[in-house]
Structure 1
Amino acid sequence: MTIRHLRIFITVYDERNMTAAAAKLFMTQPSVSQAIKELENFYRVILFERLSRKLYATSSGEKLYQYACHIINLFDELDDVLKQDAYRKKLVVGANYTVGVVLIHQYIAQFKSLYPDSDVMVMVNKSSILLDKLRKNELDLALVEEVPNESDLVGDFFYNDHIVIVACPDHPLLNKTAITGQDIVNENLLLREKGAGVRNLFEQLMNQLGFAIKPYWESTSTTALINAAINKIGIAVLPYHLVKEYIASGSLKEIEVKGINFNRKLMVVYHKNKFLTSAMQDFIKICHEA
């Protein structure tokens, strides 16, 4: 089994057709078929089933694809690292929206002071997408909220954060002396989309209290949810750092809920098999110290 076998397998998996894979690889179709057969003989499994002239990966094929992508990306990364200028550092970092809007700029500035000739690429997205990119080796590090029960990822705590529930200043709930989870679920909830860290934490906390969440609005845009809350459409659940200016100006007010802790930890996350270069280690150190 060689890197060549894995590259051929990945192309066949992506194309789901031997002929199309062969054309993409500039190979003959029999050569591609032979490579897949050699892999199947090597592992003693069936990797693809043919149904109605289309290939479908078996469970073994699905498992091999995950590992093959990771191995090929690591191999390509090794090739890039060894060929790049010894003085040049490259870093690809993912950040959730809170980190991407509020924190990442200072980390990059400090990193660039250590490595003036470095290339730093930042991808801001929801945590579920960033974790998937870590697994595909498309990111070196991700700065996201705590990710429990992810055996293939390592999380390193660097920042205490919290989420808040906000509403327009004259919202009726703000007249109550003790606001409960029941009060919250009865309101029009303005929430981030599923997979966003703030949404996941809010649902988890409310479910623990026995409440099911039914969003009134869902949006990938924090600004849209803030404007909706200001315009009295409902109450928004968002990271504190993204709404603190609105709270300070009085255009929004925080709704404090009795008995619920909305604190969360932000982590530097990376794949357990990731080789941490000196530049990556320095970036993690900067996150801790900043």
Structure 2
Amino acid sequence: MTIRHLKIFIAVYNERNMTMAANKLFITQPSVSQAIKELENYYGVELFERISNKLYVTESGKKVYQYAKHIMKLFDELEDGLKENAPKKKLIIGANYTVGVVLIHKYIKKFNSLYSNSEIKVIVNKASILKEMLRKNELDLALIEEIKNESDFIEDFFYNDRIVVVADPEHPLFQQNEVTAYDVVNEHLLLREKGAGVRNLFELKMNQIGLVIEPYWESTSTTALINAAENKIGIAVLPFELVKDHIDSGCLRELKVKDIDLSRKLIVIYHKDKFLTSAMKDFIEICHEL
């Protein structure tokens, strides 16, 4: 097995077509077919099923792809390091919305002060997307909310966070002596979309006490939900760090909900098979320090 085999395999995996993979790599289609056959013979497994002239990836093929992406990334890093007299510290970091909007800027600033010749690319998205990118080796690290029972990742806690329920200061619920989850569930709920960490945590906590939520609004935009709450459309459930300024200015007010705990931890996460470069280790350390 060679690097050439892995490059061809990755191209076929991505294109799901040997002719298209051959065109992408500027080689002949028989060369692609032969390389895939050699890989299958080497490992003694079938990587693709051929059905009606279409390719379908097998479970073995999916596993080989995960490792192939890691191997090729390391190979590229090796080449970059050997070719440059003063190699750049290159990182691709994923961040959930809380980290991407509020926190990551100070981590990057500190990292750049240590390594002036550095490049950091940031991708902000929800945790479910970032985890899949880590599995495909499209990210080095991700800074997201705590996850559970995913054995292919290493987690490293770095920040205590919490979710808050906020509304216009004149909302009737503020007139009550205490507000419970039962009060909240009957209001117009302004929530992030399914799969977002803040939505998952809120839904889990409500379900644990026997309540089912029915969103009035759903949005991928935190700004849209904040504006809706300020305009008295309903109550929003969002990370504290993202609404802190709106609470401080008096545009929104936090509802203290008696019977649910919406605290959470933020973590640095990376794939268990990922080789941690010195740049990655330094970035993780900066997250702990600041």
| Same fold, TM-score > 0.5, yes or no | yes
| Structure 1 counterpart of 2:282 | 282
Matches within 5 A, 1:154-169: 154-169=154-169
Name the counterpart of 2:242: 242
- Give, in whole Å, the separation in 2 of the partners of 1:121 and 1:20: 29
Query: Which residue is 2:256 aligned to?
Result: 256
Structure 1 position 274, deviation (Å): 2.1
- Hey, what does 1:148 align to over in structure 2? 148
Q: Within 2, Cα distance between the matches of 1:117 and 1:235?
A: 45
Q: Given that residues 70 and 274 in structure 2 are in contact (C-alpha distance below 8 angstroms), is that contact kept between their aligned partners in structure 1?
A: no
Aligned to 2:196: 196
Deviation at 1:78, TM superposition (A): 2.7
Regions of 4+ moved over 6 Å: none
After superposition, where does 1:171-186 map in structure 2 within 5 Å? 171-186=171-186
How far 1:166 moved relative to its partner? 0.6
**Alignment partner of 2:35: what SS?**
helix
Q: Does 1:88 align with 2:88?
A: yes
TM-score, reference length from structure 2: 0.93
In the TM superposition, 1:6-155 aligns within 5 A as 6-86=6-86, 88-155=88-155
Instruction: Specify the alignment match of 1:272 in structure 2.
Output: 272
CA distance in 2, matches of 1:188, 1:177: 20
Aligned length: 290
Q: Separation in 1 of the partners of 2:263 and 2:13?
A: 42
Gaps of 5+ in 1: none
Once residues 232 and 275 of structure 1 are traced to their aligned partners in structure 2, the CA distance between those partners, rounded to angstroms, is 49
CA RMSD for the aligned pairs? Answer: 1.8
**d(CA) in 2 for partners of 1:269, 1:129:** 13
Change beyond 3 A, Cα 1:137–1:83: farther
Shift of 1:100: 1.5
The answer to whether the Cα contact below 8 Å between 1:74 and 1:137 also exists between their aligned partners in 2 is no
SS at match of 2:120: strand
Name the residue aligned to 1:208: 208
Give per-residue Cα distances to partners, 1:160-198, cap 9 Å, x unaligned: 111101111121222222222222222221111222221
Residue 130 and residue 276 in structure 1: after superposition, are their counterparts in 2 closer, same or farther (change >3 A)?
A: same
Question: What is the alpha-carbon distance in structure 2 between the residues aligned to residue 14 and residue 44 of structure 1?
Answer: 22
Q: Residue 53 of structure 1 aligns to which amino acid in structure 2?
A: N
> Which moves more between the two structures, 94-103 or 40-49?
40-49
Superposed CA deviations along residues 239-275 of structure 1, whole A, max 9, x for unmatched, are: 1111111111221111111121111111111222222
Secondary structure of the residue aligned to 1:215 is coil
Q: What is the alpha-carbon distance in structure 2 between the residues aligned to residue 85 and residue 140 of structure 1?
A: 23
Tell whether the 8 Å contact from 2:66 to 2:137 is kept in structure 1 after alignment. no
Q: Percent identity?
A: 70
- Measure, in 2, the Cα distance between the counterparts of 1:73 and 1:79: 10
Structure 1 stretch 119-128 or stretch 155-164: which is displaced more?
119-128
Give CA deviations for 1:201-235 in whole Å, capped at 9, x if unaligned: 11121122222222221111111000011111111
Residue 95 (structure 1) shift: 1.6
**Range with bigger deviation, 62-71 or 127-136:** 62-71
Alignment partners' CA distance in 2, 1:63 and 1:242: 38
Cα gap change, 1:277 to 1:64, in 2 (>3 Å)? closer
**Secondary structure of 2:210's match?**
coil
Closer, same or farther: CA 150–230 of 1 in aligned 2, 3 Å: same
Q: Secondary structure at the match of 1:109?
A: helix
SS in 2 for 1:233: coil
Q: What TM-score do you get using the length of structure 1 for normalisation?
A: 0.93
